[in-house]
Amino acid sequence: QVHVVESGGGLVQAGGSLKLSCAASGNIFSIMGWYRQVPGEQRELVATVTRGGSTNYADSVKGRFTISRDNAKNTIYLQMNSLKPEDTAVYYCLSVNGLGFTYWGQGTQVTVSS
């Protein structure tokens, strides 16, 4: 059975930093990443990373956020610096296995105050 668990959300002032973690178990995941969603809006890509370490970022977070991965632990991290109020959202972890099956975590709230 696959489990995807996020942690590390919270409240931070604008300009501050937070680090999110996501641990996945029960399979081998070719791609893992972060999406975020604001109520009433579509879930949007934040960043993804492959097992080989290739990364992809949304333009809105380039230069501020860094995604990293520990394959031995099936864990990814999202270091978020220079946070802005518009980064406020529920952040979801995505895990995709080699067959293309997608698994989501339960989400973690990130709130950036101005």
d(CA 42, CA 45): 10
Burial tier of 17 (Cβ tally within 10 Å: 0-12, 13-18, 19+)? exposed
* Strand-pair category, 29-37 with 89-97: antiparallel
What stretches in the chain show pLDDT beneath 70?
none
pLDDT at 112: 98
Q: Rg of the Cα trace of the chain? A: 13
Residue with tokens 């097992």: 51
